[in-house]
Structure 1
């Protein structure tokens, strides 16, 4: 006999599918989300009876993923490049959750009728990134002609582009953390950039 999903309980495979469905289709209703995740509306209803409940469940999991990635990154430990690498790897291990998380920072996913893009919303994640870059600037590792807030956004947007491109099959998932970190750090480090003519 097949076991039915319990209310509020979601496994990783279904969670990833739903997180990606909401990130790509933020105004989808419950039936559409179920179809995008490859399950029936009845199955999704047993987990979360409303679209808002699905979004709330996903938001909790996404927040947990981001907090876990920050904790494992140990951004306050030198060297700074190694800490950033740990963060990139941690975030990318759950790229679907990160894509959902990013979508939630740009618009109110709880309101299916509101399609207004509110802009990048500060969070515990953005605050941790800003503190990391500010500490790196004080240590002479990162450029000071760019604000820590801008460096945090630039890194985050690059990470988002990599996660989205990997999800769409535009780039291979293997090696993304190294690619993101190398591309970002080559422009953010205080080392001289060699210009090729």
Structure 2
């Protein structure tokens, strides 16, 4: 009987209610904060890469007699995107002519490089001629900050867990 009253007194105490609520709610709030931070970092990288691509394309359009190479454009984009880690190794470009009769565009989800260096599918890099409509696409691999972040996001990932961020733009080669 004595043990039963002690147990009932224990359950009637209200001294630890705040601690129990804190233990239940705190991990959820931290997970939401981490997911929001990770999403903000991914969006910042995405926006900076898009702006760098637009800047590189503007340079291509306005400068005559420019030698258009994959490495030169990649270096220009990497200089303007300092938040991309290992940009030289993780950034891939695809430059191709758009047929103005059919306007067939490639699938934008498939261009990227994996950690082994394999490009899926094989990319093209054609500088084009005067007055041709050109499509330039970029893809970079970005690692997540924390493995628990990004829950519920349907982002393109490779086998190593790296997230693919892409950007694309269309321009016309100016006549000389």
TM-score in terms of structure 1 length: 0.25
> As a proportion of its length, which structure holds more helix?
1
* Structure with larger Rg: 2
Per the normalisation by structure 2, the TM-score is: 0.27
Which of the two has greater strand per residue? 2
